[in-house]
Amino acid sequence: MNWNARFSDAASRIADADAVIGILKLAEQPGIISLAGGLPDPRVFRIEETREAMAQVLTDHGPEALNYSPNPGITELREFLATRMARIERIRCSPEEILVCSGGLEGIRHAFNALTNPGDPVLFEDPTYMVALQVCRELAGIPVGVSSDDAGMIPEALDDTVLRLAREGRAPRVLYVGPSFQNPTGRTWSLKRRREVLEVAERHDLAVVEDHAYGELRYEGEWLPSLKSLAPERVIFVHTFSKIFGPGLRLGWVAADRGLIERLGLLKLGTDQCSSALTQRLALAYGRAGGLDAQVERAQDLYRRKRDAMIDALADFPCRTPWLRPDGGFFLWSEVDCDTEKLLLRSIERHGVAFVAGNCFFADPTSAVARVSIRLSYSYVAEDLIPEAIRRLGQALRETVGS
Amino acid sequence: MNWNARFSDAASRIADADAVIGILKLAEQPGIISLAGGLPDPRVFRIEETREAMAQVLTDHGPEALNYSPNPGITELREFLATRMARIERIRCSPEEILVCSGGLEGIRHAFNALTNPGDPVLFEDPTYMVALQVCRELAGIPVGVSSDDAGMIPEALDDTVLRLAREGRAPRVLYVGPSFQNPTGRTWSLKRRREVLEVAERHDLAVVEDHAYGELRYEGEWLPSLKSLAPERVIFVHTFSKIFGPGLRLGWVAADRGLIERLGLLKLGTDQCSSALTQRLALAYGRAGGLDAQVERAQDLYRRKRDAMIDALADFPCRTPWLRPDGGFFLWSEVDCDTEKLLLRSIERHGVAFVAGNCFFADPTSAVARVSIRLSYSYVAEDLIPEAIRRLGQALRETVGS
């Protein structure tokens, strides 16, 4: 049977993701130093404490942990998250305003699916989280990029974009953003920008999806309020255990209006019905034992050191724009003097180093800036390999620019 | 903000699921004996062996178990599943032809999404698994029911339905079936029917999604070959750990053509990116230690006893069609002399017993047969409560018919 001839439009729209998967696979080959994937450093995991929490779960809640759990999440975990968000993010919400998801991305997906129809424009920072773009495209939404700089999304650019789309008869309803230590740029929006962008969102009645995946990994500078805490009604706040416990749990959550949360839960019935009771119970036991806070502290120290090591190694690197020194998160971002897809192939094939070419993070991957952009991740690579990785990358860049 | 006014078409299409969720919540109230949910009996779980397998995972693979895992699943688990399917189901497939999912339903979703466009008809047994219907509707597919009897889908009915749709210019491409101990009827297709339906599928070039969720829970009668083993190329085989280990893991898998599996993996990038490395490693360790086979044996004994207890209790129950005595699975199915939605409300409110009204399992929930159908689950209810549950249900039925 020729299955290729049977694929739906959705399956065709997602096919582009294949190229990125291919590159990530190449990056995992032996001998390659990878600055590509955004994986946590395994040294932040607290295996012994995880084992203890899991043993406790199976002793105290074994039968419930192995069975189906409530669609919106285990009640005690939703209560725990509400309390923790109040303490850490000054977000006030009730447990009923929280949906536990299988990773933050599942929450983003359901938010897009609940609030946009095929053909609708969806607003993104330019550049933005690649998988959120892919989900939007799979759902037949039309990603529209909004110009951003190192202080965050540019409010005038947002306003202009909304007005232009409205004039074209396709006023946008949804804005997706990552205001804290963004993937891929590492950028953090200033407080001023947060307020200004929310004002524009208010004026045009946009629902705002705030991705807080890296938000707790601040290792420098002052705490800033999330958009959710500044505009509780308008913002759909998406967070994840992936960076504060481990991606292997596949657990995240959404905090939003209660009626919306119920609808997102119905959409979740059609992905996995409910998230794992076992990993939910684990997250709860680990969190109650203080595991999340202890792990975040350890992660902050480790990633600060790795960021510094990479910034140091990049001191003489010939890039077009200076590397932003992020206050948190996993990533460095810049532009260079060549097509970064070409650079990537040369880097992998001849120099044994990998990164992610920037174009996949843009609503329009063919734009001039998209094609010369580059994302380096310092989260997973071993610290002592960073200088060698950057040396190899510099060599590949000189060759590519000169070729 | 009025979020209701913002909901997409997909969010509106899924809203019907809300009623069913509401009923299941009612069924969980204290004092209600529930024959509603299709949950495993917690007594089949082997908590001590699960704890041992989990301790081993965290000792041997802690850092990998807490991190992201490959999108299609952990290689060793895919190898284990290929070997196990060959042994138990005589299905020959390579690890590359397997996608690990977060429950079987996720695999069904991706198969529908990869192979149908909005507006396409999708063929289902009448009645069929409710959540598969909901997913089809959410994706804007049009469920079309095909008449079935106690021997399975009726091949002539399938042929007629395909021809009728083709005449209307909307020839179907996908058929979803549960040939073994089906949810909701408990039916198992005869070998003859399996072959005949596959012949019709071949003639009309239908892709066949085979849901094998209950397939290993045979506690009576002879093993029968899966559709997948009879037509390896045409069938997308979906199985789950939910009934052979525990739903709390949220793990299932799809076995299908390799190119299709890769495409389903891309769609999985947009739900949860990868399934939990922790629960995948747990399933592998537990499976390698013989846990799955031991648990299946225990489950077979337990559910056979519970089926017998319920069949006995139903001896004088006034239903319109005789209860099928299933050879496996979780469910009994029949028709009664009243609207079962009305019966359900009376049963819960006045008699403290719950079940699922049959209409939600039909492509057309308003049909005459849909409205008088009833599903009873014997999987979760305590054995010694079964006679009392059926006594209460009989009382509610007499009152409803007489009212």
Contacts of A134 in chain B (CB under 8 A): 269-270
Contacts of B66 in chain A (CB under 8 A): 42, 45, 47, 50, 245-249
* ipTM summary value: 0.97
Alpha-carbon gap: A249 to the closest alpha carbon of chain B (Å): 5
Determine, for residues B138 and A270 on separate chains, whether the beta-carbon distance falls below 8 Å: yes
Interhelix angle A130-138/A104-115, rounded to 10 degrees, is 40
Task: Answer left, alpha or beta for residue B390, where phi above 0 means left and psi between -120 and 50 means alpha.
Answer: alpha
Residue pair B41/B380 in contact by the 8 Å Cβ criterion = yes
Beta-carbon pairs below 8 A across chains A and B: 258
pLDDT > 80? residue A194:
yes
Residue pair A32/B40 in contact by the 8 Å Cβ criterion = no
Residues 15-44 of B with CB under 8 A from A: 15, 17-18, 21, 37, 39-40, 42
Contacts of B60 in chain A (CB under 8 A): none
Q: What pLDDT does residue B326 have?
A: 97
Q: In tens digits, what is the pLDDT along chain B, a chain of 403 residues?
A: 899 999 999 999 998 777 777 777 777 788 899 999 899 999 999 999 999 999 999 999 999 999 999 999 999 999 999 999 999 999 999 999 999 999 999 999 999 999 999 999 999 999 999 999 999 999 999 999 999 999 999 999 999 999 999 999 999 999 999 999 999 999 999 999 999 999 999 999 999 999 999 999 999 999 999 999 999 999 999 999 999 999 999 999 999 999 999 999 999 999 999 999 999 999 999 999 999 999 999 999 999 999 999 999 999 998 898 899 999 999 999 999 999 999 999 999 999 999 999 999 999 999 999 999 999 999 999 999 999 999 999 999 999 998 8
Determine, for residues B106 and A18 on separate chains, whether the beta-carbon distance falls below 8 Å: no
Contacts of A10 in chain B (CB under 8 A): 113-114, 117, 267
Q: What does the DSSP 8-state code read for residue B236?
A: E
- Measure CB to CB from residue B279 to each of A58, A138, A278 and give the nearest one: A278
pLDDT in tens, A287-326: 999 999 999 999 999 999 999 999 999 999 988 988 999 9
Contacts of A266 in chain B (CB under 8 A): 11, 14-15, 17-18, 21
Which tokens sit at B63?
């850092």
Residue pair B183/B133 in contact by the 8 Å Cβ criterion = no
Determine, for residues A269 and B134 on separate chains, whether the beta-carbon distance falls below 8 Å: yes
Lowest mean pLDDT among A26-35, A179-188, B238-247: A26-35
- Measure CB to CB from residue A50 to each of B14, B42, B58 and give the nearest one: B58
Q: What pLDDT does residue A16 have?
A: 79
- Measure CB to CB from residue A249 to each of B11, B103, B278 and give the nearest one: B278
Cα B83 vs. chain centroid, distance in angstroms?
23
Q: Which of B110, B111, B98, B112 is nearest to B283 (CA)?
A: B98
Determine, for residues A105 and B271 on separate chains, whether the beta-carbon distance falls below 8 Å: yes
**Mutation target vs A (from B198, B235, B272; most A CBs, 10 A cutoff):** B272
Could you tell me the strand order of the sheet in which B235-240 lies?
B98-101, B252-255, B235-240, B207-211, B174-177, B121-126, B142-149, B152-153
**Mutation target vs B (from A135, A228, A278; most B CBs, 10 A cutoff):** A278
Q: Is B190 on the interface with A (CB under 8 A)?
A: no
Residues whose CB falls within 8 Å of the CB of residue B372, separated by 6 or more in sequence, listed in order: B320, B335, B336, B337, B338, B339, B340, B358
- A-chain residue closest to B112, CA distance: A8
Determine, for residues B270 and A11 on separate chains, whether the beta-carbon distance falls below 8 Å: no
Contacts of B18 in chain A (CB under 8 A): 262, 266
Determine, for residues B267 and A106 on separate chains, whether the beta-carbon distance falls below 8 Å: no
Q: Is A240 on the interface with B (CB under 8 A)?
A: no
Q: What percent of chain A has pLDDT over 90?
A: 93
Residues 197-216 of B with CB under 8 A from A: 205, 207
Q: Is A5 on the interface with B (CB under 8 A)?
A: no
- Measure CB to CB from residue B103 to each of A66, A105, A272 and give the nearest one: A272
